[in-house]
Chains A and B, each alone.
Chain A
Amino acid sequence: MIDVVGKRIWFLGFSLVIFIIGLISLAIPPNLNLGIDFLSGTGITVSFEKKINTEQIQNEFNSLGLNSTNTQSLGDDIFFIRTERLSDFGSSSDSSSVSREDVENSFKKIDDQYRILEVETVGSKVAEGTIRNSIIAITVSSLFVMIYILYAFRKLENSVRFALSAVFTLIHDVILVTGLYALLGHIFGLQVNSVFVVAILTVIGYSVNDTIVIFDRIRENNLKFSSSTLPQNINRSINESITRSLGTSITTLLVLLSMLLLGGSTLRDFLVVLVLGVVVGTYSSIFVASQFLVFWEQGFRDKNL
């Protein structure tokens, strides 16, 4: 039997280290690499027949006068270019003077076998709305989930403790995932767009799901072994449900990873968040969530273990 409660300082310390790494990643510019849904602009996905590198594209765009252009390779000779808003999009004043035709001519210069796979242009109004709506959606979801947890544990003594512990775990997961995503963003050029918000909300759902299964066990064991202390019951519960937690995570990760490796570039960023979310969510439900309960009961002291 592994003594999770006894080693809780280590687990919380580990979380703290990841948390600090994430904070540092978030502090280094460009912080989170925001996509066009948040910043407005045009995103172009283009494929070439020839071997092209990002610098060639970057140079062509610079010579068009599109200086704030960011080019990424998505593999398979496909590139994603984020740039200023192209002029033929709308009449708004903050568009650049470069048209889609100019851009296509530049591509032609690089390789006349180019193919534009996707073009997305977002105006500044949508961008503002995305930021506001993301905040609202995350807040409202968390609020509803909190209410639900309170309801689910309503019959339990200290139901508020369980609910708040689940919420702390949820916040822990979101912060860690965002930090790690920022870290990976620096390395692989991952972007934050409205799909990121969906992914984070999904992580919240997953985190709560995992936590509730373990808390359900604790609730059951508290009734069954009422003579045992809370830490004993927590350890017992974790050991009883650890196979399930790992089993579920492994299966979910199997499908997510095969999707990430074989599924093409379009969903890459989204899947990365989910993979991080599953890993962090499983870790936190086993090693972190119940520690909040213990702290509430006895602080840092160890007793009756």
Chain B
Amino acid sequence: MIKIRTIVFASIIFLIAVLSISFKIIDVDLPGLNFNRGDSETFLGLTLGLDLKGGTHLVYEAEPKKGSELTSDDMEGARRILEKRVNSFGISESSVQLVGSGTGVSTKILVQLPGLQQVNISITIAGQSSEKELKDIISNLGYEELKVSQIEEADGRFAISGPRIKRNDGENDPSLLLSELDKSFPLAMLLAYTSLDDQNQPVDLPTLDQMEAAASLTEEADYVVEDLSQGVFRITFPDYVPRSGDVNYRFLDQAETSLLAAPFEEIGTLFQASITGGVSSWKITGGVEEAKKLIGETAQLEFKERDCLPIENENNEEEWPPDNLTKEEWLQLRCIIPTYYEDKAVALSGGDLVDAFPDVQPGIPRPVVSIVFDDDGADEFFDITSRVAKNQDLLAIFLDGEPLVAPSASSGITGGRAYIQGPTFDSGSVKTIAIQLKSGALPVGLNLIQERNVDASLGSDSLRKSLIAGGSGLILVLIFMISYYRVPGVIASLSLIFYATLLLAVFKLIPVSLTLSGAAAVILSIGVAVDANILISERTKEEIRSGRNIFSSINEGFSRAWPSIRDSNVSTIIICIVLYWFGDRFTTSVIQGFALTLGIGVIISMFTAFTVSRLLMRLISKTTIGEKLNLYDPVGKLFEKKD
């Protein structure tokens, strides 16, 4: 019996497979289901490995500090630092992963940087914006070759990359893209007024009309003023173009904001002016070489004494606090705004920190980070904390030059043991801070042990050649199968096409990166798929010769061939599992790619043989072809059979 269910099932799978490879980009956005696959630039939208799209592959090995051993926390810390560095570089689809040495701690870090010859733009948009929004805007502007990916969730940083910055009409000036984006993400300023004037006398907050009037005094012709709440206004300038001429790098700094805010200072006591929208940073980079330099440096933890301007008027200035700030504001801002403080180098270094771990302290509701210094560090730590406590300054801690935390101290701390608390700390953030402190404190020496650069042209050349070769190979196989095995050959060919389609669809949907070795695995798995069909048709032929009718011969042939198909493929699957398992020890993705691709290929080929080949054989046997038994015999015999 042919089950209708089987036909429907096979047809649906085939349809899904065909659909998923006919569109380069799959973007399903339903409530509760968000599914994005594909790539507009690649063959069938498949994910390509570095060897096919070009890129750089770096392997670092960590070296423990003298007298200590590498722990998985150290490695995770180092990995995070590298990831941060790579992300700050704005290369999309980069990856930083720990690769194993089998058992125990992974001591190697694999960094993959695609697109050696791509233009990468790192862009920050102040305010809220999603990846999809930016993507839509860029493609609507006519830059279809550019891809967008979000670097970090929710901080507005994106990487835009593509082979070149070129619009559909041929325009290729990057500053044009920037000014277009400026129009899409207009600059907005948040202005906050206080109700006290310079002499601490109460004054009226500016009205919306006053604000409108002030806005008309700016050089911008177009503006929108919104009253957000008590003395807080948002002014949007849709046509704002940055003053700085250099389009490759720009940052709307304090100076540029102040210039824009000047007319608004006249009408009230401006407390704060900040940017809340617009493209706030823009950086174009071309290469991986710079990234490599950036990545290779050892993580560095630095301690600095943040010497803030005094609270009281110690130096007998004319007015104190400066800049018309109130006393409360001064207390808040003197250690936050860079012009009011100076970070001074101290004798304490990352190497003095012995340990840092998440902890709890009695009487403190939130988790804290405990830190432990060695003997030398403890003495220095006491000196610094004494000074910091006396002047109500801060101890600023930097990782790779970026501020990590800046705790204060209430008195000099002895014994080299302390804890850091913070109003926003939770179990996640203290863990991160502890790891970061520790990885800086225990700078695992990173040695580059392997490097591979593949030129994008070599990659695309390899891909093109492999496709031609694979395609011609497949056609040769189909010709051989049909002309030698006749009817079963036709069935095997149809089944093989089904197999190839399904395989590509699975690669795209999972997604599995297609590499050169993966392509070889696909080729091999074609052999495996053909083998299953040959086994079935050979067995069927024997059953027909033994005098059965066609339909039962097919059933019998199939059930006899199945154990061989199953048994013979299991050994290949075992080897694939072993290879995949050992693959990451080899620090080359070639092996795992091969194993994964071949394993998936073998499993799909078994599935295809089990469902599609059987179904097709049964269907065809019901037609008039099924009555012409001689069509089931191979043409001639490779070896004459005399029993």
- The chain A residues found within 8 Å of chain B, CB to CB, are 1-2, 37, 45, 89-92, 115-123, 125-126, 129-130, 133, 136-137, 140-141, 144-145, 148-149, 152, 194-195, 197-198, 201-202, 204-206, 208-210, 212-213, 216-217, 239-244, 246-248, 250-252, 254-259, 261-264, 266-267, 270-271, 274, 278
Residues of B within 8 A of A137 (CB): 578-579, 582
Residues of B within 8 A of A116 (CB): 453, 455
Cβ contacts B460-482/A at 8 Å (1 or 0 each): 01100110111011101100110
CB pair A259 B535 closer than 8 Å: no
Given contacts A201-B578, A243-B639, 4 further A-B contacts (CB under 8 A): A195-B590, A201-B579, A208-B571, A244-B535
CB pair B480 A254 closer than 8 Å: yes
CB pair B457 A115 closer than 8 Å: yes
Decide if B402 is an interface residue (CB 8 Å cutoff). no
CB nearest neighbor in B for A247: B534
Residues of A within 8 A of B481 (CB): 251
Decide if B448 is an interface residue (CB 8 Å cutoff). yes
Can you report 29 residue pairs joining A to B where beta carbons are below 8 Å apart? A91-B447, A92-B447, A130-B586, A137-B578, A140-B582, A141-B578, A195-B517, A198-B579, A198-B594, A205-B572, A208-B568, A209-B531, A213-B567, A216-B564, A241-B538, A243-B637, A244-B535, A247-B485, A247-B534, A248-B531, A255-B474, A255-B477, A255-B527, A258-B470, A258-B472, A259-B466, A266-B51, A266-B516, A267-B517
In residues 167-195 of chain B, which contact A (Cβ within 8 Å)? none
Residues of B within 8 A of A261 (CB): 469
CB pair A120 B452 closer than 8 Å: yes
In residues 556-593 of chain B, which contact A (Cβ within 8 Å)? 563-564, 567-572, 574-576, 578-579, 582, 585-588, 590-591
CB nearest neighbor in A for B531: A248
Interface segment among B38-46, B89-97, B211-219, B518-526: the answer is: B518-526
A144 to B260, CA, bound (A): 72
Chain B contact residues, majority secondary structure: helix
B-side interface residues, number (CB < 8 Å): 76
Residues of B within 8 A of A133 (CB): 582, 585-586
Residues of A within 8 A of B461 (CB): 264
CB pair B477 A212 closer than 8 Å: no
Asked, given contacts A117-B454, A126-B587, A266-B516, whether A254 binds B476 with beta carbons under 8 Å apart, the answer is yes
Decide if B634 is an interface residue (CB 8 Å cutoff). yes
Min CB–CB distance A251 → chain B (angstroms):
4
CB pair B570 A202 closer than 8 Å: no
CB pair B473 A254 closer than 8 Å: yes
- The chain B residues found within 8 Å of chain A, CB to CB, are 51, 59, 61, 101, 447-455, 457-458, 461-462, 465-466, 468-470, 472-474, 476-477, 480-481, 484-485, 516-517, 519-520, 523-524, 526-528, 530-531, 534-535, 538, 542, 563-564, 567-572, 574-576, 578-579, 582, 585-588, 590-591, 594-595, 598, 634, 637-639, 641-643
Residues of A within 8 A of B458 (CB): 45, 117-118, 266
Min CB–CB distance A280 → chain B (angstroms):
15
Residues of B within 8 A of A145 (CB): 571, 574-575
CB pair B638 A125 closer than 8 Å: no
A-B contact count (CB 8 A): 234
Min CB–CB distance A257 → chain B (angstroms):
8
Chain A contact residues, majority secondary structure: helix
Residues of A within 8 A of B517 (CB): 195, 198, 267, 270
A212 to B281, CA, bound (A): 63
Residues of A within 8 A of B480 (CB): 250-251, 254
A136, A251, A266: residue with the most chain B Cβ atoms closer than 10 Å: A251
For the complex of A and B, 3 pairs with smallest distance between CB atoms:
A252-B527, A255-B473, A258-B473
Residues of B within 8 A of A90 (CB): 447-449
CB nearest neighbor in B for A219: B563
Residues of B within 8 A of A205 (CB): 571-572, 574-576
A254 to B470, CA, bound (A): 10
CB nearest neighbor in A for B485: A247
CB pair A262 B468 closer than 8 Å: yes
CB nearest neighbor in A for B292: A88
Residues of A within 8 A of B590 (CB): 194-195, 198
A296 to B480, CA, bound (A): 39
CB pair B575 A141 closer than 8 Å: yes
B451, B465, B530: residue with the most chain A Cβ atoms closer than 10 Å: B451
Residues of A within 8 A of B519 (CB): 259, 267
CB pair A148 B570 closer than 8 Å: yes
Min CB–CB distance A289 → chain B (angstroms):
13
A37 to B90, CA, bound (A): 31
Residues of A within 8 A of B474 (CB): 255
From the candidates B450, B452, B476, B563, name the one contacting A216 in the complex (CB within 8 A): B563
CB pair B520 A271 closer than 8 Å: yes
Residues of B within 8 A of A278 (CB): 527
A257 to B481, CA, bound (A): 17
CB pair A148 B571 closer than 8 Å: yes
